[in-house]
Structure 1
Amino acid sequence: MGSDFDPSGSTVRRIVELIPEPDNPHDRYAVSVRASNYLIGYLARERAMLFHRRLMDLVNRGLVPTVPASIRAYDQNRWDDRPGVPVDLAINIDVQLSEPHLILPGNEPPSVPYTVLPHGYSVQVTKVDDHFDVLRHFVEPEGELELLVTLHEIDVSTAKTEKKVVEVRVEDHRIGQLTPQTSAKFLPAVRHLANRGLVTVGRGWFKGSSVSAQVSLMAAKAHELPDEFLTGDPKTAISLNRPRRTPVAGAVSVASAAATTSRTFVIDLVTSQPFTPWQQKEALKLLRAAASAAGDITEDPVVTDSTIRAAVLHEHAELIANAIAGIEDSDFGLANDYRTAISKP
Structure 2
Amino acid sequence: MEKRTLTILFLIILTGLLDTRLVTAQGCSDAGFCTMGAMKPDQAYNKKVELKLRSIEVSYYYGESTTSPIINVANLDASFSITNNLGFQIKLPYQWVTGNFDNTSGMGDISLSLTQRVASNERFDINATIGMKIPSNDADKKDSGSKRPASKGLSLPMYYQTSLGSYDFVAGGSMISSKWLVAAGVQMALTANNNNFWRGEWFPPTYPSESYVMTYDNATKLKRGTDVMIRVERNFRFSNYSFNIGLLPIYRITKDQIADRTTGEYQKLEGTTGLAMTLLSSFTYNFNVSNSIKLSYGRKFTDRKVNPDGLTRVQVFIVAYGFRF
TM-score range, shorter chain: under 0.3
TM-score normalised by L of structure 2: 0.18
Q: Which has the higher contact order (CA 8 A, sep 6+)?
A: 2
Decide which structure has the larger Cα Rg and report it. Answer: 1
TM-score normalised by L of structure 1: 0.18
Considering fraction of residues, name the structure with more helix: 1
